[in-house]
Structure 1
């Protein structure tokens, strides 16, 4: 009896697979046949739950994903994956392509998969260009790039500098602030400028 094997993935731990999982369950995937990689980049060739999903596939089964980019980022990787599916006699269903099965064993299905894989790679590269361009423009404009907020305030650094000038060892002062000595010196110099 053929089964639907679902796969969902997000690249960071802060992202959620809830929507993907709901879509896969609504498409008929049983919860027991749903594999989820949390915080795993699509650029990695090996992903723990993806590998388990592939191991679960047998002839006649169908792998169900929400979008083609859940499989990977490069056309080359996706085409190798299509060959792997073809070799075990499994199908692929991509929900955002209308939900129809993409039969990678047929010439038409193989062509459609190749075109969609190339488009997914292009979309990823365009997105990366936009992000890089945005960072450059924000940096040139002197705007905040986000990131982790500083735990140690500038006034705490100034007080620590006074302690060091008063004879306290810099290594101990830095350790008390919860930072390395190098970070303490770097932050001190930045405040002195």
Structure 2
């Protein structure tokens, strides 16, 4: 019988597996099995090299559905994300995202639908890589600023945690609005808008405070 598998990458103690499963179920998915990697970097580690990520390649069968919060869960960069999605589609697995409810299905035979699907895969994979690069650069900038003059740059303690910051950035890049992000993360719209207007400054504040 076809199964619905949720794959989650839990990189911090605040980004809980229960929360990610709750998000998926709230989006209408009836999860049969959860596969999760804990403490594994999504920026430096390929999906196939993660302890649990590589299980997906053996576990998933034709007719199954793979659910992820967003496509950035499926790789460390453009090539890894797009290759992972295409591999699962070739195996008859449907890939679906919680954010924006996207579906990647390899069963369609219509050439126009195929073209639209492939273009969307390329776009989303590129967006995931751009987000990862921007996050790394913002983190480096924040650390450099803190080292240059910790007292000057410390300022007010951020009202958000690093997992919340990463969630906001991810959802902004996925096209979500401030109200929707606020409902999911628990942050105020004002906090979300500040992050949107100055990601480097938001990341710097976290680094200065050691968050």
Structure 2: gaps of 5 or more residues: 108-113, 155-207
Matching residue of 1:28: 29
Aligned residue-pair number: 146
TM-score, normalised via structure 1 length: 0.66
**How many angstroms does 1:126 deviate by?**
0.9
- SS of the counterpart of 2:95? strand
Give 4+ residue runs of structure 1 displaced > 3 Å after superposition: 12-15, 142-147
CA contact (8 A) 1:6 1:53 kept: no
CA contact (8 A) 1:6 1:35 kept: yes
Cα 1:124–1:107 change in 2 (3 A) is: same
Matching residue of 1:102: 104
CA contact (8 A) 2:85 2:104 kept: no
Larger radius of gyration: 1
Cα 1:22–1:36 change in 2 (3 A) is: same
CA distance in 2 between counterparts of 1:14 and 1:25 reads: 19
**How many angstroms does 1:13 deviate by?**
4.8
Matching residue of 1:61: 64
Greater CA drift, 134-143 or 110-119: 134-143
RMSD: 2.3
CA contact (8 A) 1:4 1:62 kept: yes
Q: Return the match for 1:73 from 64, 73, 76.
A: 76
CA distance in 2 between counterparts of 1:15 and 1:3 reads: 25
- SS of the counterpart of 1:69? helix
CA distance in 1 between counterparts of 2:137 and 2:73 reads: 20
- SS of the counterpart of 1:48? coil
Relative contact order: is structure 1 or structure 2 higher (C-alpha 8 Å, sep ≥ 6)?
2
**How many angstroms does 1:100 deviate by?**
3.6
Structure 1: gaps of 5 or more residues: 148-193
Matched, 1:41 2:49: no
CA distance in 1 between counterparts of 2:17 and 2:209 reads: 24
